[in-house]
A and B are shown apart, each in its own frame.
Chain A
Amino acid sequence: MKPAVEVFESQFLGERYYRAVHACGLPIYVFPKNLSATHALLAVNYGSVDRDVGIPEGVAHFLEHKLFSNEDGSDSFERFSAFGADANAYTSHTKTVYLFTATDRFADSFGELLQFVTHPYFTPESVAKEQGIIGEEIRMCYDNPYDRCYYNMLEGLYHRHPVKNEICGSVKSIAAITDKTLYACYHSYYRPDNMALVVCGNVTLEEILTLAEEHLPKTADHTAVIRPSVIEPDSVHRSRIVTKGQVAKPIFAIGVKDVNVPEDANARAKRDAGMAILSEMLFSESGELYNDLFDKELISPEFSADFALTRGFGFLQISGEADDPDAVLKEVLSFLDRCRREGLSREDFERCRRVEFAEYIKSFDSTEEIANTLLAFVFDGSELFAYADILRNMTFEEIKVLFNEFFVPERFTLSVVKPNRQIK
């Protein structure tokens, strides 16, 4: 029986996409786009934060590496290459994504994607070998001062939420991973109804459904995924963390903890859009704060603010490079205090909403970007095209409420990486 198909359309963008749920429970999203490259991704709603009791840190990421090895000794990377596709995978705090981009032989690569992700094969020997490779990845990340600064910011923000743990784990934690650990986690989370398949490019819905039928199980297993619950206090864990690293000038990340993450997906999408506009108003290069800090030579030109919001946690990260990061934090707090007393500008709001809207339109020029954005909306339970209406309907009054509720000085933390020592 053919699955029911939902159609989502944006007349303004001149784009549409389709959703169908396969008999096995896997939701399939197809976004036809007339470009040369088709981007496909098979994602699992499982990331580094989903860690059951007794499971070492870094398992979601380890699984992502190991799934590419097949029972017949072959490596899926090689197979994708033989088809001319560019394959990759990544693990974030909340998801694991397997992907490829193809400009030819799409069906072959698509089959490989569905095949290797649904057929785990781990042995003690192959796990031991991967520990060496991932150990080097961990060392590489350790040498990246921006990674250090980011994770220390999370350590400052969170008392116990697992978002503070490194996605790759540590050399020590991954040494405790065995083939049995991998199988157990795979079977807990790699369930079709806890996954999503997204394809964007020169394809049709019918083509994708027919190909999926060849590779997916015929029936569904409805065992629900049970995620460990986390009780995280509203307060920050540490208000300041300073470490040393290989940097020429101190780098910093100011974190602001979101303690009002909505349960409802639509409310989350609205909060996300509101914070995007607010961040643009307060921290962008078109804002007063940035130009003031820059003119006073308190910061280097690169300065950014990003808001992350997903199931269970949210935070704003303001990053840059400064001789005196404490002075920058002080200026940021004093600027926010002034905004609180004097009020935000309606004109800024209108300008920044327009900026967000333009960026949203521009994001529909790349099949890779469309597929990844669509996936983010899917896993967050909201709808991609509805975001345009959220932006259009956002009011200045709502932004003012969000500002007053979000920027509470006690929810700030400062992470700094100071220069280590000079090169010999």
Chain B
Amino acid sequence: MRPIIKDLNGAKLFYIQTDRFKSEYFSLRFTVPLCTEHAQKNALLMAVLGRGTRSYPTKLALNRRLDTLYSTSVSSRNHRLGDMQSIGFSADFLGARYVNESGGILSEVLDVLSELWYHPLLQDGIFCEEYVKSEKNNLCDAIRAAINNPRGYAMAKCRKLLCPGEPFALSLIGEEESVATMTGDNLFERHQALVKGAVPTFVYVGNTPIEELIAMLQAHFDLFVKTDTPFSAIVKRGEGAPIMGQEEMPLAQGKLALGFRTDAVLGHPLAPAMLVLNEIYGGSPASKLFLNVREQRSLCYHCSSAVDLYKGVLFANAGMKSENRTVTEEAMLEEFRAIEQGRITVTEFEAAKCALDHSYRQVFDNPVALADFYAGRALIGNTDTVDDFRRSVAQVTVDDVVAAAQHIHHGATFFLNGTLEGEEVEE
């Protein structure tokens, strides 16, 4: 399932034709530099755009329109990709076989997305003040709600320690202090700048012929001008002692996050080996963290790792009794040292490769995963197919994994100390 990639007046279309699914997927994405000046504004902008358009001026009108389009689901996007921010809208809707309208509802769905992006509800030429005010409140709530998810909170703190001063460390929704500076005016300016300057990426997974899709896109999205922003990510391995951070919360369990940096990012010859390394370390139930820290030593229930090779970071995290923090951290680092020293069993190595191959095969079953795989890699100039990538993982050797381990460095540790007394929990 290799996508057809078309250039449409500077915009890029990824077209993946398939009749495997009953539903279809379309997304409109803009990948822009992640920066203090714009990150929060972009987040707020997506929320305000979602409140109403010229034809569907309220959330109620918009949602009812989507209901009539057979429960089409539209979601806004705000993702981190390297040191970039990817924003936009995507839609999941029923394919032509299951709707009454001959030829399907793709054109109607594109019409709604086009309305959302180009024709927001305006009052006196700027965004509706009521919507801006309301979404500023919602944004403040969302920022404060970080504490509702202690594991995510610890990971975000660790990310900040690991990449201080870099765009990657920024929150995608910004900080509470700056929300007050957002106004209908400056938000509208930001919208205009994006409409005029940002290059859209369209991704379609479905069964409409490409000529028809292109004709629909040209009818609905005709206002973009090309000023492509190249992908960027500050990549470094780092050195020296890890930066440590700690806070307290009234929790039953402490949450520990370890951050690592690597220069073996996507495109580096050791990138496939780095993915295998992560699987061996904490990527699956056959990993060292799961089997040795959780199963053998019963220190945690949750203990795993995940890697992001757009930026070159790996985070491991665990939840444990706060008094077990030191022993757990030491156990997690010991498992990492084992990989560095090549103490990897054949079983661990083969299981890691199998798990990775399995997860890449599953990309074929999920329109969003297909879209993310191809559109994401294209940003860094990579046109490998999923099968190409699987082949490169299959060729990884234990020596490659040990070599990859020399390209990764433990740069930060954050501990969220749970201060609830044991008996409060055990009653």
A in complex with B: yes
Interface residues of A toward B: which range? 35 or more
Query: Whole-angstrom distance from the CB of B417 to the nearest CB of chain A?
Result: 9
Contact partner, A246, options B59, B98, B148, Cβ 8 Å: B148
Tell me if B285 and A84 are in contact (CB < 8 A).
no
A146 and chain B: residue at smallest CB distance: B148
Q: A136-B319, A362-B92 are in contact. Are A367 and B365 (CB under 8 A)?
A: yes
Known: A81-B284, A362-B23. 18 other contacts (CB 8 A): A35-B365, A37-B362, A78-B285, A78-B351, A82-B286, A87-B285, A103-B361, A136-B299, A136-B320, A171-B426, A246-B250, A247-B147, A248-B147, A248-B148, A291-B58, A351-B67, A354-B68, A362-B94
Confirm or deny: A133 has a beta carbon within 8 angstroms of a beta carbon on chain B: yes
Confirm or deny: B321 has a beta carbon within 8 angstroms of a beta carbon on chain A: yes
Chain A residues contacting B20 (CB-CB under 8 Å) are: 34-35
Binds B, one of A207-215, A223-231, A294-302: A294-302
Confirm or deny: A143 has a beta carbon within 8 angstroms of a beta carbon on chain B: yes
Complex Cα–Cα for A166 and B380 (A): 47
Chain A residues contacting B23 (CB-CB under 8 Å) are: 361-362, 365
Complex Cα–Cα for A359 and B319 (A): 36
Contact partner, B251, options A132, A143, A364, Cβ 8 Å: A143
Main SS of chain B's interface residues? helix
Q: List 9 A-B contacts (CB under 8 A).
A: A34-B20, A35-B20, A36-B365, A78-B286, A143-B251, A171-B426, A295-B134, A354-B71, A362-B71
Docked complex: B46-67 residues within 8 A CB-CB of A: 58-60, 63-64, 66-67
Confirm or deny: A77 has a beta carbon within 8 angstroms of a beta carbon on chain B: yes
Tell me if B145 and A423 are in contact (CB < 8 A).
no
Confirm or deny: A321 has a beta carbon within 8 angstroms of a beta carbon on chain B: yes
Tell me if A37 and B426 are in contact (CB < 8 A).
no
Tell me if A246 and B150 are in contact (CB < 8 A).
yes
Chain B residues contacting A423 (CB-CB under 8 Å) are: 147, 247-249
Docked complex: A333-357 residues within 8 A CB-CB of B: 351-352, 354-355
Complex Cα–Cα for A366 and B23 (A): 11
Query: Whole-angstrom distance from the CB of B87 to the nearest CB of chain A?
Result: 17
Q: A361-B98, A423-B247 are in contact. Are A139 and B145 (CB under 8 A)?
A: no
Chain A residues contacting B372 (CB-CB under 8 Å) are: none
**Residues of B with Cβ closer than 8 Å to A?**
20-23, 58-60, 63-64, 66-68, 70-71, 92, 94, 98, 134, 137-138, 141, 144-148, 150, 247-253, 284-286, 290-291, 294-295, 298-302, 319-321, 347, 350-351, 354-355, 357-359, 361-362, 364-366, 418, 425-427
Contact partner, A140, options B22, B319, B354, Cβ 8 Å: B319
Chain B residues contacting A81 (CB-CB under 8 Å) are: 284-286, 351, 354-355
Confirm or deny: A151 has a beta carbon within 8 angstroms of a beta carbon on chain B: no
Tell me if B138 and A301 are in contact (CB < 8 A).
yes
Complex Cα–Cα for A414 and B195 (A): 45
Confirm or deny: A319 has a beta carbon within 8 angstroms of a beta carbon on chain B: no
Docked complex: A22-52 residues within 8 A CB-CB of B: 34-37
Docked complex: A162-198 residues within 8 A CB-CB of B: 170-172
Complex Cα–Cα for A321 and B354 (A): 42
Among B23, B295, B354, B418, max chain A CB count under 10 A is at B354
Tell me if B145 and A248 are in contact (CB < 8 A).
yes
